[in-house]
Amino acid sequence: MSELKTTLAGYVTYRGREGHWSFLLHRITGLGVVLFLTIHIIDIAFVYFNPVLFMKAIEIYRSTLFGVGEIFLVFCVFYHGVNGLRIAYLDLFKPQGWHIESQRRSVRWTLVIALVLWLPSAFWMLRNLLIHNYGLFGG
Amino acid sequence: MASVSQTVRRVRVRPNYETIAWKWMRYSAFAMIPLVWGHMILQDVIVGVHRIDLDYVAMRWASLFWRVYDTLLLGFAFAHGVNGLRQVLNDFIHGERARKVMNWLLFLFWLIITLIGGTALIAGVNRAFPLS
């Protein structure tokens, strides 16, 4: 129990600015994606094991609550991907690029790139949600 | 500007499970950018969940290309995800025995879910199932 507390307290109170924020974002987005991915593999497996349950799952995914969650999921995947590329590129091919000063800039750019990738998708998904669940835009 | 300190040091580590997992997380990232982003943009944004049903999955899996694509997704993404989960849990679980148990449980979790997904990928949409 105390180990859990110490680690969690470290996650919150460590003041590493950009590096700290990107570490936390990478973990939170990663955990969110792997949680969804597990559910998603199982619901798709239902097309073989139990197609009735598959359609029930799809019905839940079509709800507004899940639609909003899906929009956040897409952000998680974009952010985790862009940040993962930054980490993989530096670790594997340019470890001398791990400088605090330059990485503070990179972390900010990572977030900007993820947001730029996400916004058009978020707009389109929100539009789809409003069309199908609220009959807007001639739905 | 102040000079920046060099923090890189070359070390030679004999390949072990952890170094392989470390490399796996990074190399799989490059494969997953087109795979996962492509899948997500196509299914969540362009097609959208309101147009996905059994017929859609059957149509998609009628093509060998998409079945291979989905198999790659399953193989890369889930293994990457479960190992990521393991890395997070390593921050909280420190005992040698506890970590051993954790590693085995995660391995079984990965294996079972992968087998379930893989079975559906090979078997496809089940039309014989009684649909109400």
Q: What is the DSSP string of B68-126?
A: HHHHHHIIIIIHHHHHHHHHHHHTT---HHHHHHHHHHHHHHHHHHHHHHHHHHHH---
Q: Is residue A10 part of a domain?
A: no
- Identify the DSSP state of B47: I
Nearest in space to A113 (alpha carbons), one of A81, A89, A88:
A81
How far apart are the two ends of chain B, measured CA to CA in Å?
72
A82 within 8 A of A110, measured Cβ to Cβ: yes
Tell me the pLDDT tens digit for each residue of A72-114: 999 999 999 999 999 999 999 998 899 888 999 999 999 999 9
Contact residues on chain A for B50, CB-CB shorter than 8 A: 62, 128, 132
Tell me the pLDDT tens digit for each residue of B71-126: 999 999 999 999 999 999 999 999 999 999 999 999 999 999 999 999 999 999 98
B114 within 8 A of A45, measured Cβ to Cβ: no
Per-residue pLDDT at B13 = 85
Contact residues on chain B for A69, CB-CB shorter than 8 A: none
CA atoms B52, B54, B59, B64: torsion sign: positive
Q: Is residue A7 part of a domain?
A: no
CB-CB: which of B40, B54, B129 is closest to A74?
A: B40
Q: Show which of residues 23-42 on chain B sit within 8 Å of chain A, judged by CB atoms.
A: 23, 25-27, 29-30, 32-33, 36-37, 40-41
Which comes out higher in pLDDT, residue A53 or A14?
A53
Q: Measure Cα distances from A60 to A66, B114, B117 in Å.
A: 7, 23, 20
Q: Is residue A98 part of a domain?
A: yes
Q: Measure Cα distances from A87 to A19, A75, B25, B108 in Å.
A: 11, 18, 10, 28
User: Whose structure tokens read 């987005």?
Assistant: A29
B98 touches chain A (CB under 8 A): no
Q: Is residue A129 part of a domain?
A: yes
Per-residue pLDDT at A39 = 97
Predicted complex: ipTM over 0.85: yes
Domain enclosing residue A79, as ranges: 18-134
Q: Is residue A124 part of a domain?
A: yes
Q: Which chain B residue has the Cα nearest residue A78? A: B37
Q: Is residue A54 part of a domain?
A: yes
Say which CATH class B18-123 falls into: mainly alpha
Which comes out higher in pLDDT, residue B12 or A42?
A42
The residues near A102 (Cβ < 8 Å, ≥ 6 apart) are B4
- What span, in angstroms and rounded, lies between the C-alpha atoms of B127 and B58? 10
What percentage of chain A reaches a pLDDT higher than 90? Answer: 78
Q: How many domains does chain A have?
A: 1
